Amino acid sequence: MIRTAKILSCLLLAATVLAAVGCGDEAHSRLRVVHASPDAPNVDVAVDGKTVLSNVAYETASNYLTIRSGARRVEVRPTGTTTDVINATPSFTKNKDYTVLAVDTVANLAPLLLNDNNSAPAAGQVKLRVVHAAPGAGNVDVYAVPPGTDITTVDPTLSNFAFKAVSDYLSVPAGSYEVFVTPTGTKTVAIDSGTITLSAGQVRTAVALDAPGGGAPFTAILLADLN
């Protein structure tokens, strides 16, 4: 079942956020972090050497952190250690939003940086984006359909969607949906979200994931980007 991603506001202590942000008139960006590595332990996340998230569990997303724009060093390490499993220096444009996912198994762990577009959708619409972060799933087809739809009678919304692929934002009318994920070219359901109700003005990102430890049964989380 797609679950609303747990918000880690309790971890965002004012002191660490201020340390990461800085002060004055510097340009800023926003960064959200998702733990999407199925066999990795809980992790800590540092920006420019300052720990901003602690003890982050698999299938968990932070809220947006405010960081300085420009090239920032982002480190991910097993909780309580100083050994980086990710050490990257992406560049962030001022006044833009980003999501970084720690993806794949520990042996192949890498950051996946997304450029988020949190501008409001058109009146009465919802913006929905899909991320394939399930290394055990192979290429998949994705169906975003009214609840109870027999997917054998319809074409997929996204076809032959590869691991680490990120869809464009889909603009859909507000309402209730069911998301099915199947191995490409089949109608065998690997993920069934159940009914998801989306309200006008929302922006959402759905992330397909392996089960904890890796492989099936596959699952997903739904990130609340806007509203």
Residue 89 phi, psi (nearest 5): -130, 70
The CA-atom distances, in angstroms, between 5 and each of 22, 36, 223, 225 are 27, 12, 5, 10
**Cβ neighbours of 182 (radius 10 Å):** 19
Q: Whole-angstrom distance between the N-terminal and C-terminal Cα of the chain?
A: 21
Over residues 31-42, the mean pLDDT reads 98
C-alpha–C-alpha distance, residues 48 and 142, integer Å? 37
pLDDT tens for each residue of 135-181: 999 999 999 999 999 999 999 999 999 999 999 999 999 999 999 99
CATH of domain 2-116: 2.60.40
DSSP 166: B
Residue 10 has pLDDT above 70, yes or no: no
C-alpha–C-alpha distance, residues 108 and 66, integer Å? 28
Over residues 10-14, the mean pLDDT reads 34
pLDDT tens for each residue of 52-67: 999 999 999 999 999 9
Q: Specify whether the backbone of 201 is left (phi greater than 0), alpha (psi in -120 to 50) or beta.
A: left
Same fold, 2-116 and 125-226: yes
Q: How far is CA 142 from the centre of its chain?
A: 16
Q: How far is CA 54 from the centre of its chain?
A: 18
C-alpha–C-alpha distance, residues 196 and 200, integer Å? 13
- Parse the chain into domains and list their residue ranges: 2-116, 125-226
The pLDDT score that the predictor gives to residue 2 is 54
The pLDDT score that the predictor gives to residue 3 is 53
C-alpha–C-alpha distance, residues 33 and 45, integer Å? 8
Q: Per-residue DSSP letters for 204-227?
A: EEEEEEPPTTSSSSPEEEEEEEE-
| Nearest residue to 185 (alpha-carbon basis) of 156, 148, 219 | 156
The answer to whether 32 touches 62, Cβ cutoff 8 Å, is yes
pLDDT tens for each residue of 68-123: 999 999 999 999 999 999 999 999 999 999 999 999 999 999 999 999 999 999 99
| Nearest residue to 208 (alpha-carbon basis) of 199, 197, 198, 216 | 216
Over residues 11-16, the mean pLDDT reads 34
Question: The whole model's pTM is what?
Answer: 0.87
Q: Which two tokens stand for residue 1?
A: 């079942």
User: Under CATH, to which class is 125-226 assigned?
Assistant: mainly beta
Q: Which two tokens stand for residue 77?
A: 């390490």
Q: Specify whether the backbone of 157 is left (phi greater than 0), alpha (psi in -120 to 50) or beta.
A: alpha
The answer to whether 197 touches 128, Cβ cutoff 8 Å, is no
Read off the pLDDT band of 22 (50, 70, 90): very low
